[in-house]
Amino acid sequence: MQWPIMASALEYTTLLLLLLMFSGTSWAKVQKPAKRLAPALIVFGDSTVDPGNNNYISTSLKADFLPYGRDFIGHRPTGRFCNGRLTTDFLAEGLGIKETVPAYLDPGLTPEDLLTGVSFASAGTGYDNRTSKAFSVIPLWKEVQYFKEYGRKLGNIAGVEKATNILHEAIFIISIGSNDFLVNYYINPYTRLQYNVSQFQDHILQISSNFLEEIYNYGARRIIVSGLPPLGCLPIERTVRNVYKKERGCLKDLNEQAMIYNIKLQKMLDVIGDKLPGIKLAYSDIFSPLIDMVQNPAKYGFENTRKACCGTGLIEVAFTCTKRNPFTCSDASKYIFWDAVHLTEKAYEIIAEHIKYSIPQLL
């Protein structure tokens, strides 16, 4: 499929709509664009973008209970590891596609849900298969299998030609990698025996490269790939690794390794971009906005950067973050972190605001 010429009247109109949409300070407060800027949003990744796929598999890593989802539409838990919507939900709305991105494994999906995009993400997974095995969640290769299955379903609904066009013009979001380091490399002694940290980064990037090439071969063309966040600022890491220290600031070594990985990732994306004709790749820097939230909370209206909203805010996540915990905060918008690993809806919206500037690269 040939890409449309950027100088066409249609593209100028689309770009104008995009710029008007992006001029607002918050996508939640601006009007949806008159025209969809992409036919679908399709998502791969981990708990940062899992809207509930883990609800339908045998794993202890679920978020299908309150207080997860307490600020979501209808105040109900969906499986999102958040008090409300995720970054991908805000992106889908900002692109004029739909209000939320559903889980692919949700048995209630409609044909319209499929036509406008789904998430294959699974909380706890990573690029490396050993990462997903730690929590018995969906490995990345299985997400790819679901994507291929999804493509066949699109063909059945819309016909092969239209389905191919949807995949070529959809925006793909890839948000994965943190668990490979936090769950696999830094905890699993066998992984550290096999690789030093630089070698492990290269190992993960090679898997990422192969993954991008595989989904490209099945139709993906417009792809945003997120880097690692400042891993050393997560409350659970600051609690566990600084257990004998009075000062519990962000962990410098983890943040430095995340930054090194992100630099390598950007170089890898340049190589892939030169290798695969017609592909449009954009790197999404989530490190910078999150570290800025932590260092300058008042700028965003946050009051607590050290602790999460749920429980003590130091270590609770998944089944330890329950509505029976008497310490859970009343106003999550004052917090960057919802639980000891994941962000609040407000923080995810800020991340979406940052990612949106990557989208013009794909049009």
CATH number at residue 291: 3.40.50.1110
Tokens of 257: 């390794």
- Output 10-14 pairs: Cβ under 8 A, ≥24 positions apart: 11/363, 14/363
How far is Cα 363 from Cα 16, in angstroms, rounded to an integer?
A: 12
Interval 282-340: pLDDT, tens: 999 999 999 999 999 999 999 999 999 999 999 999 999 987 777 889 999 999 999 99
Q: How confident is the model at residue 241 (pLDDT cuts 50, 70, 90)?
A: confident
Q: Is residue 16 part of a domain?
A: no
Please pick, among 47, 119, 132, 226, the residue that the annotation labels catalytic: 47
Q: How confident is the model at residue 247 (pLDDT cuts 50, 70, 90)?
A: low
Q: Is residue 245 part of a domain?
A: no
Q: How confident is the model at residue 47 (pLDDT cuts 50, 70, 90)?
A: very high
Task: Give the residue numbers spanning the domain of 143.
Answer: 33-232+252-306+340-362
Please pick, among 106, 128, 132, 342, the residue that the annotation labels catalytic: 342
Please give the mean pLDDT across all residues of the chain. Answer: 90
Distances (CA, A) of 307 to 230, 273, 311: 15, 40, 9
Provide the β-strand partners of residue 302: none
Dihedral sign from CA coordinates of 340, 201, 360, 145: negative
Provide the β-strand partners of residue 54: none
Q: Is residue 357 part of a domain?
A: yes
Find, among 359, 303, 357, the residue nearest to 332 by Cα: 303
Please state at what angle helix 197-217 crosses helix 252-275, rounded to 10 degrees. 40
134 CB contacts (<8 Å, ≥6 apart)?
124, 179, 183, 184, 188
Q: Is residue 26 part of a domain?
A: no
**Is 342 marked active-site?**
yes
Q: Is residue 124 part of a domain?
A: yes
**Is 208 marked active-site?**
no
Residue 141 has a CB neighbour count (10 Å cut-off) of 14
- Based on the structure, what is the number of domains in the chain? 1
Has residue 28 got a pLDDT over 60? no
Backbone phi and psi for residue 44, each to the nearest 5 degrees, phi listed first: -120, 145
Q: Is residue 333 part of a domain?
A: no
Q: Is residue 153 part of a domain?
A: yes
289 CB contacts (<8 Å, ≥6 apart)?
350, 351, 353, 354
Has residue 268 got a pLDDT over 50? yes
How far is Cα 228 from Cα 281, in angstroms, rounded to an integer?
A: 17
Provide the β-strand partners of residue 284: 226
Query: For position 7, what pLDDT does the model report?
Result: 35
Query: For position 249, what pLDDT does the model report?
Result: 81
Interval 61-100: pLDDT, tens: 999 999 999 999 999 999 999 999 999 999 999 999 999 9
Please pick, among 180, 333, 339, 358, the residue that the annotation labels catalytic: 339
How far is Cα 353 from Cα 349, in angstroms, rounded to an integer?
A: 6
Helix (H, G, I), strand (E, B) or coil at 349: helix
Query: For position 74, what pLDDT does the model report?
Result: 96
Query: For position 358, what pLDDT does the model report?
Result: 87
Q: Is residue 318 part of a domain?
A: no
